[in-house]
Every structure is written in structure tokens, then in C-alpha cells.
Structure 1
């Protein structure tokens, strides 16, 4: 509302000087009015325009973003006219209507406009649509403006649009309206002293707010309005302020989920001399003036839903308000006289806040919008004019969901079910559930719709966590109707839920709902709305679940629902790796099989059995990402066991195959030839290449095999040899012999795996008579000799045997003669005879 609420007798309001320019602008076309809150625009402008000639006795529709604002604004205008509501001024909000045949100004919430446009695209009898407080950029306001603009451009060029805002960037909106005139008005408010915090506030917002409220009570006079992010913080703050009531202070909450009577206690003027403390969400930020306020305590936070198109889930995010919102809140303290605003953040922190709030269309679930546009005949949102077009990822997710629910066909056109869904004031998910319920299930379905869409009636506290079971709320509704609601439920909230359910029952009885008498459990009904949120408990856990969508979810600690293997999740916070389940119902597997028979995939799946280390086949029944049943079945000839075996070998390359010494030596010998024989076209048998090319060289050898144990019996040396041509095999044996025959006549192995240089380990005495180092690979690579003592211990390592005989042997001979005096240690080893079995023989050079 405007400041006229507090000065009803004052004929001159800040908005008055711009009324004539506004009238002139609207006679020509659309207009945008930018004027501060408190200027009187919400009540004075519609009344000032009501008798304009171009209206021709037609109606004015004025949109308000919230139900309390719509009711109070209409009531104030009716009071200024000296008439009851429903005469020349009326209002309509969800499930509530005060409009008569003489009504000229109708104040409505934004969703009501969408419904009216769908039923009457020409808006017959309406000459002007006013979008009040448009800077809040609600999803429905953006949709309503896009649809109304479409009507004005294609059907009703005489229809006028007026966008009113206090802080909106005016030029882009004026451009959207086709170059509409911008009328700027002045506000009238008293100075407000802003007091910042000396240091960053503590994380407990409720505690910080209660401390600042107590401080303001001592330092300042007048009523206090405190802004907190949500109802949880409000309730905790009220608890901490509870003892102030004994001092004659009236403490009142204000948020959108309160019953109308409870909201009016805070919105209407107080009585007597008792000071009031009103603890509110951002519902009190704009539109509605709360009389008597002189002090504002602003925590600087708000809580908004944020939609994740990837998961299809929404989470509530507590975030800093914009600087524009902070100014709106502070202005509440300057309506009656000079005021004070306590900001619970530092001046430095203010610079990091955004200038304006983000449009809801950029971060919301767009399924309701997509359904409305489909009913409007629009498949591509770019066909309409938007201040911010719907983001493509969220739009795509919305279309996929509506197709899954049956609201859209494959081409994106609306179905008969989709038309019925759009008629209900519910999210498309809930509309499907209500429309698909049989007469026997309708009351349960309506109760579920109301419980999910309205404020949770469960009473929480520090020692009472909120359980996830929706069933307890259903039982509480039944108990309420029997006049015995349980103590852990809020009676007023239950009554609000009951009223919504009753309204839905009346609406569904008039619609083309499903006939028949099929009955379903509440969980099975809920699955109609949330097929992607059917959840299966993960193996080995008692509180973690996997959703059919593939996302993870976790129940609150020690929640009673954890005993159920299957749940249907109606509400969850997507924050974190696994979203936290807030509301859910159990469902039986048999019901899932029956309900989703057409969506359940039946398949034979060839998988890897880690326990048996073998390829296995199972017949699997799957709903999305969750497996309903799985049983083993025999493998068939067409099953691709080889692919799975190759994948497992790739993961366990060194263990899965029988890497014998012979195979390793062959691999190293070929590698040596690749390095030194560039013309030989030798294959790459390195570990990395073999692992990367398993399908090329190994697949033919494992056809028909299913177990890792069978692979261990493969002779890998034979498989690798097969990679060589006949000529390469012969050349490999010639140039990289596996052994060397010493002058003593003994065959000693050459180790090609020891490194880049092959190693030959032999007793020193067996090499007497050998004048130079043995060589391999076209005589290009001298082997690395490990010369051993009679005890087979290394005495010398060399690639230059001749040099060792000439320069190092003499010293080694002295040491060996001392240790092994009975052995023969000649002075000239190159000319000596090698010892074989005690027999001296002339050394000869031989290999192969």
C-alpha cells in the first residue's frame, strides 16, 4: 500500500503532481510509473484513472504480488470511496473473491490474471491492466506481462498496460512496452537514520535479530518491524523475545503462510499504548504499509527457491538482499516521522550486494510457465516479448517433465490432460495426481495436493525435528475433521490445508476427472505426481536413497520412513551431494510395477560379476535409474562377453593376464629391436600400447571365454609372438638370443627386462679366455656383464670386458685369491682356459 494509508484525510499525496501526466500518457498508450513506496501510487492511481473517458466504463485490473497486499490495497481503496468491498472496488486471490457487478477496480494476484487470460484471451470488459510492484520480478508477473502484451499487440490494440514500480530500471521496461512513456514521481518520507553493525554478524540470524530488537526497544520509541529470511528464523526469534510480553510488548509474526486473521493482526493498526514488535519475512518489504512502524531491524537476508535444471530439483537458498530491497525496508521506518534502521551488516559488506533482485524466471522451475504457454498456443517462448527470456536449460527440463506427465505430446503441443491440468491452481505435477485419481481416491489426492502446496502444519522445535512422513499429516487432517487433531500439528495450518483441499474437491468434481473405482495407497497416488522421485533405498544404508531421476537423497536422521525400501519424495532440498528429503510417503514395489508398467524397462544386461570375476547376465526390471528386480539368466551367443572381459583386463592389466617371465623377456627383446633397428618395422609391445590396443591383439584369443581365471591359462608369450612375422621371429632369435654360452660351455641367460641394457650374469671364472664383451642386436649393444664370485656374488659390473681384464682384474684377482685360494686365478684371463667341472679348457666366444 501507499502512505495514503497513514494520512487518509490528507488530500495531497506525493503521487498527485504526476497524475495528470500519467492520464495523458495512458490516453496515448502504455505507460510506466516510477515512484517510491509511500508515494500513494497503489491506492491513488487506480482511483484517479477510474473515470477516464477511454476506459468507457470498463474495468481496471491491478496485479499485486502477494495475497495480503491484494486484500489490503482493495480494502483501503474501498474505504476511501466510503463503500464496502465488492462495490466499485473488489479483489480476488486464490480461493477468495469479493467482486460484484458494479466493480470497476479489481485487485488480483498475478496467477489470477493468467487464469483469466487463458479463459478469455481478449480480456473483454477490461481496459487497463496495472502491474504494481513490478520490481519484485515474480515469475507470474513476467508471464502475465508477456501474455497481456501479446493480447495488446494482436487482439486488443486499445488495451492499456501500466507498469508501476519503486526501484525498477525503467528504460528496459519502457522499451518492452514499445517505447512507453516513463512518468517519475516523488515520494514523501521522513529521514531515516541508518545504523550499521560494527562487525560482521554471527551466523545465527535469529539470535542477532533478537539482540538488536532488544537494543532498539531501549534506544528508540515506536513500533519495531524486523525482517528475517524465513519462518524458521521468525519462530526462533519469537522464542527468544517471549519474555518481553510481560513488559507490555505485543510480539507478532508476519509471513505468507499465516491465516488471514493472523496476518491482519500485524498489518492493521495496534490498539492502546502497547508497543508492537512485528517479525516478518520480505512480505512486509513492499505493497503493504504496516502502520505505527518507526524502527526497522534488517538482518539483510531473504530466502528464495533456486531451481537446478540438471537435477530437476529446487532448493531454498538464504541469500543477501539487494541494495534496492535494503532501501525499501529502511523506508518503512520513515512513513510517520523520522525513523531508525538497524542494518545487521557492516558498510563494507554492503558494497558486495547486488543492485537489484534477480528475476524469478531466471532461477525457477518453469514447468507451470511452459504449460501455460502451451495452452496459449506457444511452443517457443521467444515468440513472446520478455524482459528476461526463460533460460534454455530450465525450459528444456520443463518440457521433458510435462511430456513425462502427459501434459504435452511429442511435438510439444498441449494434450487434453494438459488442458485440464492448466485449469487447476496447482503445479502440473499435483494437477496430474488430482486428475488421475479415481473418485475413491480424490479426497486423499486433494489432501496431498493441499499438504504439499500449503505450509507444513507440523510443529517443530529445537528438540522436535520435522519428520518426513506425509502420512502423519494425512492422519492429522482426518483427526481434525473428527475434532481431535494431534498436539504436534498446528491447528490453524491444518485448517488452512483443509480449506484448500475442500476447494480442490469442488473444482475436481466439475472437471473431466478420471472415472472408475480403482484405489491406490497415498504413496502410489503421490507417484503420479513425482514419477522421477520414486526412491529406492541404497544397499547397505538405512537413510540414503536413489531417485528414479538418478539423483541421490537422504532422510533426516532416525526418520521413521527409513524402514521402507521404496519412497515417493514430494519435497526435498537439493543442497549438497544428496538432497535432503523433507516430505515423502512409502510405496510398495508391486504398486510401482502396476502404476509404471509402461515406463518400466525390461532388459537382459550383460554385466561383470566382481565376486566371481566373470561375465554374467541378468534379467533386469528398471524404473529410470532404480532397479526394481534383477535375476541371473544364462549367457547367450549374442551377448558381448568379450567387451566386458577387455574392459576388466584394461582395469587390471598387470594382474588379469599371465605375464610369465618368457612373455616379459619377449616384450623387452622386441622393444630393444625397435630402438636399434629402424628398418625392421617392429610392433610396439610396450605395456601402454598393449593396454590401449587390447581389442586389436587380444580379442581374437578370448572369444567364448567369460572368466578371468580362463585368461590366466593363456600363453601370453605365444600371443605376443604372433604379433611378429615369420622373418621377424627368426631375426629376433638371431639378434636377441635368450642365452649366452660361456667359454666354459655353460649356457647363461640374458636378462632383457633389467633395463635398457641387457644383463648377462656369469661366474668370472667361466669367462676366462673371452677377450671382449658379448654383443646383441646386430652387434650394436654390448651386454652389461655381472661378474660373479664362486659364491655367486657380484664382483664387478661392466660393459667393457677387455678394459676390465687390462685395468681392473689384477686388483680383483688379489682379493679372490685370498678368499678362494683353491680356485685357479690366472694372471692373463683373456688367454687362460675356463674352468668347467675342474677341467681347464681354452675359452671360445660363442652365443645363441
Structure 2
């Protein structure tokens, strides 16, 4: 039988064993992480969901199991969804006789029944006592703790029995506990915290009934929502909040987020008050807000870190999640990112198959990062330190979220080592001591699992190096303003100045990714020499030859990189000429063709070519777009050996463009699109081809006397547009039909110009007049 939490598993086993009049470990036993109570006589094993996954991986047929019961399935934990998917395939392929039973008080049963092949649905109304529900009149502003403490005092004064208080996490439990102690509840009222990381004895104290004449106030997380009966409870105070993990595919990090409870969770909590008799439930939200509650919480598989799931599927032999049956298929983006992490850790090969290293990781049931860290550290004599760090990182911070703002992981390790050596008993309370005891138990457990020699003890100075083995993507390099660049390319910072913020290099184990940069919550410093020593296989030398716009030149650098971090930056002696050429061409592309030395002659030659291309597309296209797209072809050979913008000034663009043409095209160009045309006066006038559809020649009117027809270009196909100029070089007429101008317009223009330029030559018959570029023709007085 599966239970979602260790506390629930132990409690269920003890209850069933008590019903049989036996101790735990006889007919009924349990298996949870760090603790097993079973024997050869055990017929019913209560296990946590991760234990089932390990049993399935070891024996996919579950040979010695007749039935698997999934209790409290409505919580939809990642491990429960995975366990059901694996059991369904095991039943289909290996064990048709294997029985599966899914149980829940609030789950919508039909989708689960359909997933299980149309399984029968059995409903039991059960027995519950009437529970009065009391809502807040107004919305609570600010922190929830003062309102919780006030409500507890009111409940104790108005009702009998014990009080069960639901809070989102340990920090809120401690704050409410401190506030109630400050107020004073009297000698007959005992405060009892209840959360997953408490020692078993402290958890039992919260669950068992009080002695006669005493009452208790149990301050619990969501752990008390289901599976457990807290003896003596008649009143529930529900803060309406819960804390859930949220994984961000954008950053690859998980953070805890405090959210409002769902309708199903709120009803489960209220039901705790009516288990043993009539009860009361205080809900610290308004009746209007109650109507807006979500029906149920989102399944963890939709919002969790999927690296452990991807590892289990690879170990199972499922290449893709779609091979199995799911209530909710793992999101493709998060699953893809999980597999990328596993490939980076060497857990999967390039084809996505599990490696031998991955098999070793999968056998230990630890997060892939932490198992990889331990296995990688062992050959370096750092296995014991890795086990210590895994124990610290695998649960709650031993310093808690309050009272210790320093993010240095070494401080936690020192505190645990001092506690182990009996040099100190914690920093602030018995709860602190309990957290350290839990960590020490985990350290012993992992040392046994990974067969670490008892005598091995690594120096704490290697903490950062070992941590980097688990988080190679979160190695940080200090930048300006005490900020860090992580090897995954993201930025990170400390919320307050502390000694660790001055480290040149560090490794961040825990981050808050709520902004564009992540806030560092837990980290350790690392030495650059250790990065070279332990990460030589992933450190790369990258020669960067790029165009630098600030200096308008190609710059070459040789960088030693670890992900996005530059460990070393040097100038190469002799950069590869071909790479310099490529970078220079890229620079020209970035800056645009204007960076090239376009002389007047080169510009006109290019325009002439474009005129010919306009008439006949078989001619080279020398437009900006065409030249920029083919820089390497037409310009590349001429910039070989150059590296900066000033070098480009040596280019002869006219000659370069000319080399695009065949010999026949060069000859045709001179005939069909001449740079200059000789006019009747004997002068050679430049032709403007800037508009390939309409070439223009600007010429003084007197120089065209005697020219009857408009000159044509392009083999006689394109009439030249004539800008006829006054003696002062101002346009007086634009025409593409010179004969018509002489016949119809000349005399009106002549009349106007004679008045302004009386000394110039204005003949009566332009057809027969002598053309001139002077004021008057030679010999004319």
C-alpha cells in the first residue's frame, strides 16, 4: 500500500498492526527512506511512493506482490503517477494477475477507471460528523500568522477539544508558535508542531491524544490533510495556504511557491474536525473567496522538475513518455529539458539511452544531480563530503528560512559536523537540533548505500568543487556590482552583502528564479584550479575571431570556456587568415556596403551595370541586396590579408566589379551604357544611371544645336532623358523627345533665356545652328 508521505506510511502501518494486536513488522510492516520495519512474516507493506519505483525497477513483474494499493491518489504526486503508469505496463506485459487498487476521498474516479481499462468503481460514503464552517468577514491583509494566532485563541475559548492548524510551511509554523508562546496559552494547553522533517517521536507526540485535563494545538503543514487521524481534534483553523514546488523550464530551476488551497484540499482539511465527533472549521478567507476556489490542485507532473522522472523512464526502457499510460502526459518542454540535463551529467547517451553511469544513479533513488555528485566524487576521495552535501541538499535547510541569512553552504556543514562531534547542540532550538539529527541520519544512510569507507573525511574547502559536480550549470563567475554570471548563461545575485558575495567563483545550489536574474539562496565558493581539475572534460578552448564595431576591425581572442564562463582570455599570436577574412566579410555585412571606398567612378560603373541588369537579367545583379548576399564570392578574394576598415580603402571597386563581366560584356557595356556621351559641341558629358529605368544626361541647350533626334542607350532600346540646362547650368526643360522640343518648345524657351542671357547664342534655326559649349560659337560676333 502506497502512502504519499513517510509519516502517513508509518501511521497507517501502526494502526493496522494495532488492529491485529501485533507490533509493526509482523503481519504489517513499512518501508520508507532511512527506515524499514518488515520481516519474513510480513504480508502487508506500507511504503512511500518512491520505494515502489525502486521495487519496480528491481523486479518489473513484482513477483512476490499480489496487489498494489495507491492510497490518497487525489494528491497526484509525481511518484504516484509514475508508479501507476509502470504498474499498468507491468500488469499488461508481465503480470495479468497483478491487482491494482486506487483509493481517494475526493478524486474524480471516472478518468482513473478509464485509464485502468474500465476498472470497477466502488464508493463508500463512510461516516463523518457535522462540522460548522466559519468564514472571515473581511479579507486578511499582510502576513497570515497574526490572524492565525488570534483565531486559535478564539477557538480555545469558545470550543472544547484539540485544535489542528493548517499552515503552508515550517517558517509559518515557527512564527505562529512563537506568537502563541508570547501570548501564553496556559499550563493545560500544549503546542505541537507537525511536519515531515520532524523526528518520529515529535510527530507521534502531535498525533497521540493528550493526557486527561490537557489540550493541544497542532501546527501542521498539508501533511495532516489526509491519511492521518490527529487524536482529540474538534477544531480546525485553516490558513487557506499551501506550499508547492514550481519548476521553470525557462531557467531549469525549482522554487517553492505559496498558493491558495483548492476546493478538494479545503474540504479534506475541514473533514479533520469531524472525524471523532461534531466539529468546527475556521476558514481564514471570506465566503466570497470560497466560491472562487479551484476544484483541485494541479498534478505535480505538470509543474515539477522532471529529471527524476526522465531517469526512471530511461531505466525502465521507455524511450518516450507516450509509451506508458498517464492521466496527464509529462509536458514536452520540461521533459526535453530534463533529458538535456541527464545528457550533460552522462546519464543518457546521444540517442537518449541510459548509460552504465545512469544505471548506477538510478539504483540509488536519489535525485540525478546528487547521485551523480556522489559517484563522481568517490574516485577523488571526496565521497564522504558528497554524502554530507547530498543530505544537506535533499531536505529542508538545517538553519531554516529565518535567523540565518547567510547563503554559505559550508556554514551548514560545519554546524552538522559540530553537532556530530558533540561540540554544540544547534544554534537556536530543539527543532534546529532535530534538523541536524535528520541530516546525520541521511549521511549515514548514503555512506552505506554508496559504500564510502568509514575513515574517509574530506576537508570542507572542497565543498564548492563537489557541489559543482551536481550543478555544473550553476557555476558562477563574479561580475560587477557583486553579481555573478552562471555557466548556463543566466545572471545571479545575493539579496544582501555577505562574505560569499566577494568570492571570485562559486556554485549555486539553490536559486530563486522569480526575476530576470536569480537570487542566490544557497551556494559555496570554488577555486578556479578545482574547476580545471574536475571539469577538464567539458572545458573548451574557443578561438573567437569576430568583427568589433567599436574599433572597426577584426579582433581575435582565444578563450578557455566552461559553458558561458570565460576561465581564461588570451590574444592568439597568428589568427587563421581565412577566419579573419570571414570575420571581415561579416563586419562589412553588419556595417553595410557604405564602408567600402565607393569613388565617383566606382559608383557610376555599378549604376551602369545595374542599368544593363535591368534591361537583361542575365547581367550581374549589383544591387545592395545581391552584393551583400554574395560578399564572399565577388569581394572575398580581394580582402584576403586585410583586417580593418582602413585596409578596405585600398580596394579598387571599379576593377573588382569589372571582373564580374566577360570580355564580351565589357565591350557591350561601353557601347550600350557608356560612362560619357559625346554631344554635337564636341564635349563628352557624363550619363547618370542612378535610376536604371531612366538614364539622364544634363547638358547645356546650346551644345545640342543640330542634333535632330534623342540619343538612345541599351542597344537603341532606351531613350536618354535630357536635362536641358541654361547657361547658368539650371534645368529649363526635361525631355526624351528632342525633335519635339526643337519644333514646339524651343522658341518659347529661347525668348525667356535671351532676356536673361543676351550675350549668349540663340539662333533662329536650332536644327542648323552651330553647337557650342562657349558663350557664342567661334567666329560669331
TM over 0.5: yes
Partner of 1:331: 271
2:511 to 562, 569, 572: 572
Provide the secondary structure at the position in 2 that maps to 1:621: strand
Contact 2:347–2:357 (CA<8 Å) still a contact in 1? yes
Q: Output the CA distance in 2 between the equivalents of 1:194 and 1:434.
A: 51
Partner of 2:389: 448
Partner of 1:724: 661
The C-alpha deviation readout for 1:649-687, integer Å capped at 9, x for no partner, is: 222222332233323222322333333x34x73222111
Q: Output the CA distance in 2 between the equivalents of 1:256 and 1:328.
A: 18
Q: Output the CA distance in 2 between the equivalents of 1:488 and 1:770.
A: 108
Partner of 2:651: 714
Bigger mean CA deviation after superposition, 467-476 or 251-260: 251-260
Shift of residue 232, structure 1, vs aligned partner? 5.4
Provide the secondary structure at the position in 2 that maps to 1:143: helix
Provide the secondary structure at the position in 2 that maps to 1:501: helix
Shift of residue 240, structure 1, vs aligned partner? 8.0
The C-alpha deviation readout for 1:406-437, integer Å capped at 9, x for no partner, is: 55677877666555544545323222333433
Contact 1:300–1:344 (CA<8 Å) still a contact in 2? no
Partner of 1:535: 476
For structure 1, the residue ranges without an aligned partner over 5 or more in a row are 1-61, 844-848
Note the 1:604-683 alignment, pairs <5 A.
604=543, 606-608=545-547, 613-615=552-554, 618-635=557-574, 639-675=578-614, 677-678=615-616, 681-683=618-620
Shift of residue 77, structure 1, vs aligned partner? 4.0
1:256 to 196, 217, 225: 196
Partner of 1:66: 5
Bigger mean CA deviation after superposition, 227-236 or 327-336: 227-236
Q: Output the CA distance in 2 between the equivalents of 1:704 and 1:727.
A: 32
1:780 to 718, 741, 762: 718
The C-alpha deviation readout for 1:618-645, integer Å capped at 9, x for no partner, is: 5443334433334333447685444333
Partner of 2:540: 601
The C-alpha deviation readout for 1:450-474, integer Å capped at 9, x for no partner, is: 221121133545xx78443212222
Structure 1 vs Structure 2 CA RMSD: 4.6
Change (3 A) 1:235 1:512: closer
Bigger mean CA deviation after superposition, 448-457 or 243-252: 243-252
Q: Output the CA distance in 2 between the equivalents of 1:564 and 1:624.
A: 19
Partner of 1:457: 398
Provide the secondary structure at the position in 2 that maps to 1:304: strand
Partner of 1:360: 300
Contact 1:296–1:333 (CA<8 Å) still a contact in 2? no
Change (3 A) 1:562 1:656: farther
Change (3 A) 1:592 1:359: same
1:469 to 387, 399, 408: 408
Contact 1:142–1:387 (CA<8 Å) still a contact in 2? yes
Partner of 1:143: 82
Q: Output the CA distance in 1 between the equivalents of 2:440 and 2:382.
A: 13
Aligned: 1:207 with 2:147: no
Partner of 1:37: none
Partner of 2:370: 430
Aligned: 1:288 with 2:228: yes
Partner of 1:738: 675
Partner of 2:123: 184
Q: Output the CA distance in 1 between the equivalents of 2:51 and 2:434.
A: 23
Contact 1:439–1:517 (CA<8 Å) still a contact in 2? no
Q: Output the CA distance in 2 between the equivalents of 1:340 and 1:487.
A: 37
Partner of 2:526: 587
Aligned residue pairs, count = 770
Q: Output the CA distance in 2 between the equivalents of 1:817 and 1:737.
A: 33
The C-alpha deviation readout for 1:282-303, integer Å capped at 9, x for no partner, is: 3233222445253553536542
Aligned: 1:749 with 2:686: yes
Q: Output the CA distance in 1 between the equivalents of 2:221 and 2:684.
A: 92
Aligned: 1:692 with 2:629: yes
Contact 2:701–2:726 (CA<8 Å) still a contact in 1? yes
Contact 2:419–2:426 (CA<8 Å) still a contact in 1? no
Q: Output the CA distance in 1 between the equivalents of 2:14 and 2:264.
A: 28
Contact 1:665–1:752 (CA<8 Å) still a contact in 2? yes
Shift of residue 592, structure 1, vs aligned partner? 1.4
Contact 1:300–1:345 (CA<8 Å) still a contact in 2? no
Change (3 A) 1:484 1:758: farther
The C-alpha deviation readout for 1:765-794, integer Å capped at 9, x for no partner, is: 55566666555442523325163552x455
Provide the secondary structure at the position in 2 that maps to 1:666: helix
Contact 1:437–1:525 (CA<8 Å) still a contact in 2? no
Q: Output the CA distance in 2 between the equivalents of 1:327 and 1:348.
A: 15
Change (3 A) 1:155 1:708: same
Q: Output the CA distance in 2 between the equivalents of 1:580 and 1:337.
A: 47
Bigger mean CA deviation after superposition, 493-502 or 77-86: 77-86
Q: Output the CA distance in 1 between the equivalents of 2:282 and 2:434.
A: 37
Aligned: 1:758 with 2:707: no
Bigger mean CA deviation after superposition, 374-383 or 644-653: 374-383
Change (3 A) 1:396 1:837: closer
The C-alpha deviation readout for 1:242-301, integer Å capped at 9, x for no partner, is: 875579997766543445555556545567899877665432332224452535535365
Shift of residue 65, structure 1, vs aligned partner? 0.4
Change (3 A) 1:180 1:714: same
Shift of residue 595, structure 1, vs aligned partner? 1.0
Shift of residue 74, structure 1, vs aligned partner? 3.5
Partner of 2:466: 525
For structure 2, the residue ranges without an aligned partner over 5 or more in a row are none
Q: Output the CA distance in 1 between the equivalents of 2:630 and 2:35.
A: 72
Contact 1:769–1:829 (CA<8 Å) still a contact in 2? yes
Contact 1:524–1:592 (CA<8 Å) still a contact in 2? yes
Contact 1:614–1:706 (CA<8 Å) still a contact in 2? yes
Q: Output the CA distance in 2 between the equivalents of 1:198 and 1:747.
A: 97
Shift of residue 715, structure 1, vs aligned partner? 1.5
Bigger mean CA deviation after superposition, 718-727 or 559-568: 559-568
Shift of residue 582, structure 1, vs aligned partner? 2.7
Bigger mean CA deviation after superposition, 513-522 or 693-702: 513-522
Change (3 A) 1:835 1:490: farther
Partner of 2:33: 94
Provide the secondary structure at the position in 2 that maps to 1:165: coil
Change (3 A) 1:485 1:807: farther
Shift of residue 586, structure 1, vs aligned partner? 1.8
Partner of 1:48: none
Bigger mean CA deviation after superposition, 591-600 or 479-488: 479-488
Q: Output the CA distance in 2 between the equivalents of 1:453 and 1:771.
A: 98
Note the 1:539-578 alignment, pairs <5 A.
542-547=482-487, 549-556=488-495, 558=497, 560-578=499-517
Q: Output the CA distance in 2 between the equivalents of 1:143 and 1:177.
A: 14
Change (3 A) 1:832 1:265: farther
Change (3 A) 1:416 1:668: closer
Change (3 A) 1:526 1:789: same
